Structure 1
Amino acid sequence: MSSRMVAVRAGLQRGWIEFRQSTTNGQDLWSVMFFPIISLVVMFLLRHNTVPGTGFSLGSQSIPGILGMNVVLNGMVALALSLTMDREDGTLLRAKATPNGMIGYLTGKVLSRTGTAVVGLLIPLIPALFLFDGLELGGVSSWVTLVWVLALGLVALLPIGAVLGSVFNTAQGMGFVTLPIMMLMGVSGVFYPISAFPEWLQWLAQVFPLYWLGLGLRSAMLPETLAATEVGESWRHLETIGVLGLWAIAGLLLAPVVLRRMARRESGSAVAVRRQKAMQRTM
């Protein structure tokens, strides 16, 4: 077995251990569930409101977008935060010092964040099926659509998280990214159909993968008649594959370059400086 394969195998084992720890730790589970729980409560209170032009519940229509938002938070954002924290405490430097350690490190991180994102989608989905009327996941085609949209969405989002985690030196620096991401969620159809937004805002939302992830999840979970409320009055599966695929290709090409550059800059002195700054912030 080659040294790279050994590193990948070690990374898979590490990823499984991190995933198991995160799903058995109360604090980690709460961080995964906080936003979807709050969002489900809000949408449940709004369940008697309807999507414009239909009699369908606005709360039910928003559930797929909320689940997509959770994938973004537990996949892309969590991976970025994990990378910055590991740079700050020296974990990344130790991985760099190990032969093929970066390969194993990234394999483990991607596996653990993928597993957490999937769990973060499935856990709120179960109560949502009982609390909200109109959700349709009884057919095989619905589950097939759910799986391929989720898989393609993760491939598109995780490289972005790796790039963000490489650009910012500290977890506090990621705070500058969190606000724009939250604003993007607001205009990406998570809580309200973007067809009701101004045209320029619709175009802006369609540039980013969150809208297409939410659209794909809506196509899997909502009745076919709800497609009329979307831009283009259809679920646009081909466009979903195209846009998410372009983001995935761009991310997979860019992330290795940025990660290699970040790893070359890692040193004991850089870690010491970050630790000193962290101690000053704590004080």
Structure 2
Amino acid sequence: SLTNQEPVTEVIRQSLPASLELGVVALLLAAVVGLAVGFSGIARPEGKLDLAGRLYGIGTYALPPFWAAMVVQLVFAVWLGWLPVGGRFPPTLLPPEGSGFYLLDSLRSGLATGEWQLLLGSVRHLVLPAATLGLLLSGIFANSLRLNLRRTLGSDYVEAARSRGLGEARVVLRHALPNALLPVLTITGITVASLIGGALLIEVTYSWPGIAFRLQEAIGQRDYPLVQGIVVVVAGLVVLVTVLVDLLVAVLDPRIKF
């Protein structure tokens, strides 16, 4: 690194756990909320609930991440004072030692000592950035599940299951939903790229010391070795996740062969 004369690998090692922790929690939240919203309008297509789900999917995907993050900060941190406005850990406490994943490290420390202040501080600082990023990405899952599930419900094998006298709930859960989730799983790999792009703006807005925040600092300081190292690591993560998702889809769907 041209800025602090540290090895690029050391800078990445210190900041990558923060980004992975934020990204995993945000992706899980996006999947849960998005799939729930996408599934909610199946009972009455084109109804009010289905229309609300479509508007939610389009709206959350279209919101600029930096603007949404500032609005969330203003409401929940400044006006209500429920959560910290930024940072990753309370400045009055020493961060937990270990892997660099504060949630896991503070949980292990709490189990060992019985003190849960570290875990509470980690969770409080993680809630706003993870919720903001997760809700912004949840629209992708909501729209994808809705479209694929509606197409699957019109398939011949679903009609055959109905003709055998199966209940609608069983037809949806046992026959339509598993096949509709396969394209959603594929989109999960693509979402990783969007996750990294959104994380850059989220980390900068919330002062989250992750790899995207380090990339923004390196670009501003023209620290080209650090920029190159971070880009290589991010590209490698995107390729790795995409390959793993493709392999998982092939395992779940016997029609796919490599």
Please report the TM-score for the alignment, with normalisation by the length of structure 1: 0.29
Which structure is larger by alpha-carbon Rg, 1 or 2? 2
Q: Pick the structure with more helix per residue.
A: 1
Greater RCO (CA < 8 Å, at least 6 residues apart) = 2
Please report the TM-score for the alignment, with normalisation by the length of structure 2: 0.31
